[in-house]
Structures are given as C-alpha cells and as structure tokens.
C-alpha cells in the first residue's frame, strides 16, 4: 500500500520514487529518493539539524503528520456533510436522533 502511495508521487515540488530492489526478502525499511529544489533542501537540512533528527526520521514524521491531518480533514468534511443532511431532515437535537433510532423498534 505504501509502495502504491509513493510510486512516482509528486507533492509540492518533491518528486518521490519508490524502489523495493526486487528482493524476495522482507525488509524493515525501503529506500525512497526525493528530489527537492535547493532552497527547500537547505530548509529541510536545517530543520533536521534543529530537531536533532536524521533526514529519514524527519521525513517519516512529516509523512505521518500529513496523513493524520488528511484523515482529520476527511473526518471533519464527513461530519459537516452529516450535519447538513441531518438539518435538512429536521434532526437538530440528540432527542431527534433517539426518536428516529427507536421509532421502528
């Protein structure tokens, strides 16, 4: 799944390529090469130094943060959609929800 996500993915000027090396053995880590514009690369190195992390750990942290933010945004979007649909159907309170849940039981 991660391989599908990272295969030739381009995000904000970063070009990511995934290379499993075609090995049959299971590996704990997979090498990923990124290409950055010089000014972003310089900032990336500076942040890694400031955080006392190597570049791989910084990338993992950035990726996990991106994924968490994306999932949170999806949740909030669904929540807004559900709220809109509920209001359109006249469901405004928890009592309205309970009434609908239990009316056919």
Helices 55-88 + 38-51 axis angle, to 10: 100
Please give the Cα distance from 78 to 92 (Å, whole number): 17
Please give the Cα distance from 64 to 3 (Å, whole number): 15
- With a cut of 60, say whether residue 9 has pLDDT above it: no
Query: Mean per-residue pLDDT for 29-34?
Result: 86
Predicted TM-score of the model (pTM): 0.60
Enumerate the domain spans of the chain: 1-35, 38-105
Confidence of residue 36 (pLDDT cuts 50, 70, 90): very high
Condensed to tens digits (0 to 9), the pLDDT of residues 58-84 reads 999 999 999 999 999 999 999 999 999
């Amino acid at each position: 799944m991660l391989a599908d996500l990272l295969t030739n993915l381009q995000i904000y000027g970063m070009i990511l390529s995934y290379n499993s090396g075609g090995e049959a053995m299971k590996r704990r880590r997979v090498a990923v090469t990124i290409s950055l514009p010089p000014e972003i690369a310089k900032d990336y190195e500076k942040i890694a130094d400031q955080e006392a992390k190597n570049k791989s750990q910084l990338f993992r942290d950035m990726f996990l943060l991106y994924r968490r933010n994306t999932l949170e945004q999806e949740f909030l979007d669904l929540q807004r959609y559900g709220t809109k649909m509920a209001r359109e159907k006249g469901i405004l309170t928890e009592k309205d929800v309970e009434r609908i849940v239990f009316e056919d039981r």
